[in-house]
Amino acid sequence: MAQKPSIPKGSRDFSPVEMARRNYIFNTIREVFALFGYRQIETPAMENLSTLMGKYGEEGDKLLFKILNSGEWLRGLEGKDPGEGSARLTSAVSEKGLRYDLTVPFARFVVQHRGEIQFPFRRFQIQPVWRADRPQKGRYREFYQCDADVVGSGSLYNEVELLQMIDEVFARLRVNVAIKLNNRKVLAGIAEVIGAPDKIVDITVAIDKLDKIGMEAVNAELAERGLSAESIAALAPILAIGGTTQERLAQLGELLKDSETGSLGVRELEFVCARSSELGLRAPLDLDVSLARGLNYYTGCIIEVKALDVEIGSITGGGRYDNLTGVFGMPGVSGVGISFGADRIYDVLNALDLYPDSTQRATTVMFTNFGDKEAAASLRLIKELRGAGVAAELYPDAAKMKKQMAYANALSIPYVAIIGESELQAGTVTLKNMESGEQQTLPASAVVEALKK
């Protein structure tokens, strides 16, 4: 009868130790968001499929988890030809899906609640998303996103602020990062000045691989994608710009001076870099003209963050988009946002062991249990300790001392308080420091003070 319990592939349980570590990351991000005036929202796990479908491309539609209609779902298939195939018949048995990211639900939220929202709307959202991707190392079917966006303001100060937030979060987490910056208008300008304005997608897909495959292979791919030899030759000096960010911006400005869009992109980058450096970011800000994430989506600045001490790819990304809400009937709302990849950041902190000691433990002191009389005295003291904000617990059973101590040890509880018969008579408590092994006997009235710091 008994089932061997398991969970769906690609999903995870989080133990108390893992939760403490994850909460440390989430709390850090949440605190920084709040410090910058961002305000939290939540949206439901399930959205109507009409909200989700068609927003993530054909591949994305397939990766949505769909909810089987409740009740007589088979009726939806009556009169349908199974030959139409699973994909086409899905809408006959399912009208809801699990959210795939936080961006589309946010766009839906903004349009649905437009009358109640104060614009510019600085919102943050920390919730899980679900994707029916093939699970593999570091890729899960349920994972958290931590998004901050400002909508209803085209000001570049928002970009500056988002860079400060990224910098602050990783400084607090003690992760060394580099922030890469680009601008979609620069990419459009590049395509324009090399005489291939309609090839912007091909160009960006190819040059995005520059780091990995090198210039020669990129050029071969560009040729394969139909770029002329002249265009490829014209692209080379643009990819070869070097020096400091300021120098690179100057070179880029010169190279793109004949493209209005490209020049505007360069000026935007100049503004964002200048303001950010005046304010003093701790992380280096790298201008990278090959950066292109989510091209069909971003319209201005593009941001990507890499950890310097662990090979793991992008751990945060974002950018400006100009028509997030158009598909829901509210055109012309500009926005800019970033998304922290909490699960990858978790992997980075695990790899570098960057958790503060406080995330390793929960309870400060465990009281041993020798029976009802001793337990009653312990509970009175535990109540006082909790009143003073000290997490305390009684071992619930009068088990063997060895078992009780092993429990405290396994949970990394730093202090064990012992009220046995002699302590009970003397009105004292024996307090054992579990790390040093030191033991001292105190008046019961002194225990709260001793553990309060």
Residues 144-163 that bind a copy of itself (CB under 8 A): 150, 153-155, 157-158, 160-161
In the list 319, 369, 435, 447, the residue contacting a copy of itself (rule: CB under 8 A) is: 369
DSSP state of 300: S
Closer to a copy of itself at the Cβ: 134 or 257? 134
Q: Would you give the binding string for a copy of itself spanning residues 300-339, x where CB under 8 A is met?
A: --------------------------xxxx----------
Contacts of 383-392 with C-beta under 8 Å, sequence gap 24+, read 384/447, 384/448, 385/447, 385/448, 385/451, 388/448, 388/452, 389/452, 390/364, 390/365, 390/448, 390/451, 390/452, 391/362, 391/363, 391/364, 391/365, 392/363, 392/364, 392/365, 392/366, 392/367, 392/451
In the list 85, 115, 356, 437, the residue contacting a copy of itself (rule: CB under 8 A) is: 85
Contact by Cβ (8 Å): 158, 152: no
Closer to a copy of itself at the Cβ: 118 or 296? 118
**Residue 430 beta carbon to a copy of itself: minimum distance, rounded to whole angstroms:** 19
Tokens of 327: 């598909």
Closer to a copy of itself at the Cβ: 8 or 242? 8
Task: Map the footprint of a copy of itself across residues 120-149, applying CB under 8 A.
Answer: 120, 122-123, 128, 130, 132, 141-142
Closer to a copy of itself at the Cβ: 96 or 199? 96
Contact by Cβ (8 Å): 172, 28: yes
Query: How far is Cα of residue 322 from the mean position of the Cα atoms in its chain?
Result: 22
* Binding window for a copy of itself (CB under 8 A); candidates: 173-181, 348-356, 369-377, 420-428: 369-377
**Residue 401 beta carbon to a copy of itself: minimum distance, rounded to whole angstroms:** 16
Residue 94 binds to a copy of itself (criterion: CB under 8 A):
yes
Sign of CA dihedral 376, 377, 382, 383: positive
Residues 6+ apart with CB under 8 A from 453: none
Closer to a copy of itself at the Cβ: 40 or 440? 40
* Binding window for a copy of itself (CB under 8 A); candidates: 182-190, 248-256, 313-321, 386-394: 386-394
Closer to a copy of itself at the Cβ: 154 or 197? 154
DSSP state of 335: E
* Binding window for a copy of itself (CB under 8 A); candidates: 78-86, 224-232, 342-350, 414-422: 78-86
By DSSP bridging, strand 415-418 and strand 335-340 are: unpaired
Among 350, 333, 332, 184, CA closest to 269:
184
In the list 25, 26, 28, 51, the residue contacting a copy of itself (rule: CB under 8 A) is: 51
